[in-house]
Amino acid sequence: MPLTYEQIWPGLPTPHHGGLVDILEVVDGKLKARLLRPELMLREITEEIPRPLVWPRVVKALWERNLVAPVQTRPTVHGVPVLNGAFGVIKPEKFTDSGLPVLRMIIDLRASNTILDQLEGDVWTLTGAASFQKLMVGPNEELLVSGDDLNSAFYLFRLPEKWPNYLALRKPVPWSVFEPGKAGETLVGLRVLPMGWSSAVAVMQNAHRQLALRTELRYGAGLLAKAEIRKDAVFPSLDEAPVARTLEGKAPEEQTRLRKAYEWWGIPTNEGKALERTGLQIYAGKAVHVLQFRRCLFSVLQEVFTSIAQNPERVRATTSLYDEMLVLESLLPVVVSDLKANIDPVVTVSDASETGGGACYASRLSRLGVEELEEMMDAEGPVDQTPGDDFRDVSQKIVVIDLFAGIGGLERALELAQLKPWFTVAVESDPDCRRCLRRGSPCQGLSRLSVDRRHLEDPRSKLFHDAAGVMKMVKEESKLLGMWCIRFLENVVADDVDIQEMSLALEMRPRLVDSQYLFRARRPRLFWFSVDLVSHEEVEVREHELFDEVIYGAATEPMSSVLCPGCRWIPGERDSGKRFPTFTRAIPRPRPPKAPAGLASTSEEGLQRWKKDGYRYPPYTYERDYMIEEEDGHLRPLKACEREVLMGFKKGHTMDLARKPPESPEEKQKLEDQRCAAIGNAFHATVVAALLDHMLWSFGVKPLVGHHEIVESWASEIKRLATVAEVHEVEVVLDQAPKGEDPG
Asked if 102 and 140 sit in the same domain, the reply is: yes
Strands (E), 504-660: 511-513, 525-529, 539-543, 548-552, 628-629, 635-636
Q: Please report which residue ranges of 310-345 form alpha helices under DSSP H.
A: 319-330
> What amino acid is encoded at 43 in this protein?
R
pTM of this structure? 0.45
> E-assigned strands of 209-290?
243-246, 269-270
Region for 437 from its dihedrals, namely left if φ exceeds 0, alpha if ψ lies in -120 to 50, beta otherwise: left
Looking at the structure, tell me whether residues 79 and 200 fall in a common domain.
Answer: yes
Contact 255, 243 (CB under 8 A): yes
Residue 175 lies in a domain: yes
What are φ and ψ of residue 289, in 5° steps? -60, -45
Looking at the structure, tell me whether residues 250 and 111 fall in a common domain. yes
- Which positions of the chain have pLDDT values less than 50? 46-56, 234-250, 271-278, 380-394, 438-442, 445-446, 448-449, 451, 727, 729-744
Q: Do 259 and 289 sit in the same domain of this protein?
A: no
Query: Are 213 and 290 in the same domain?
Result: no
Same-domain check for residues 326 and 261 = no
Distance CA 483, CA 701 (A): 13
Cα torsion for 720, 726, 730, 731, to the nearest 10°?
-20
Q: What is the DSSP letter of 169?
A: B
120-151 confidence digits (pLDDT tens):
777 777 766 666 666 777 777 777 766 666 65
Rounded to an integer, what distance in angstroms lies between the CA atom of residue 352 and that of residue 50? 36
Among 614, 636, 658, where does a domain finish?
A: 636
For residue 702, what is the DSSP state?
S
- Does residue 263 belong to any structural domain of this protein? yes
Judgement on whether residues 290 and 256 belong to the same structural domain of the protein: no
* DSSP code per residue over 708-743: HHHHHHHHHHHHHHHTSPPP-S-------PPSSS--
Which stretches of 331-462 are DSSP H helices? 367-378, 409-416, 431-436
Does residue 186 form part of some domain? yes
Distance between CA atoms of residues 689 and 148, nearest Å: 43
Q: Following DSSP, what letter does each residue of 7-45 receive, concatenated?
A: HHGGGSPPTTTTT-EEGGGSS-HHHHHHHH-GGGGB---
**116: β partners:** 42
Number of structural domains (the chain) is 3
Q: Is the CB of residue 220 less than 8 Å from the CB of residue 212?
A: yes
Contact 640, 672 (CB under 8 A): yes
Residue 10 lies in a domain: yes
Check whether residue 75 and residue 223 sit in a common domain.
Answer: yes
Last residue of a domain, one of 362, 395, 429: 362
d(Cα 437, Cα 653) in Å, to the nearest integer?
10
Q: Tell how far CA 669 is from the center of its chain.
A: 45
Residue type, 630: E
Backbone angles phi, psi at 591, to 5 degrees: -145, 160
How far is Cα 76 from Cα 74, in angstroms, rounded to an integer? 7
Q: What is the pLDDT of residue 366?
A: 73
Q: What is the pLDDT at residue 386? A: 40
Whether residues 68 and 210 fall in one domain: yes
Q: Is residue 650 part of a domain?
A: no
- 438 in any annotated domain: no
List the one residue out of 251, 76, 243 whose CA is nearest residue 168: 76
- Virtual CA dihedral for 514, 520, 521, 524, nearest 10 degrees? 10
- 8 Å CB contact between 606 and 618: no
Range of the domain at 346: 280-362
Say if residue 234 is in the same domain as residue 338.
no
The tens digit of pLDDT for each residue in 288-322 reads: 777 777 777 878 888 877 776 665 566 677 788 88
The 3-state DSSP class for residue 581 equals coil
Helix axes 200-213, 29-36, angle to 10 degrees: 140
Q: Are residues 265 and 346 in the same domain?
A: no
Domain assignment present for residue 533? The answer is: no
For residue 431, give the amino acid letter: P
Our measurement of the distance from residue 444's CA atom to the centroid of its chain's CA atoms, rounded to an integer in Å, reads 30
pLDDT at 630: 94
Amino acid at 25: E
Report the distance separating Cα 735 and Cα 717, nearest Å. 30
Question: 566 CB contacts (<8 Å, ≥6 apart)?
Answer: 630, 631
For residues 100 and 145, state if they share a domain.
yes
**Domain final position from 235, 250, 270:** 270
Q: Tell me if 449 is assigned to some domain.
A: no
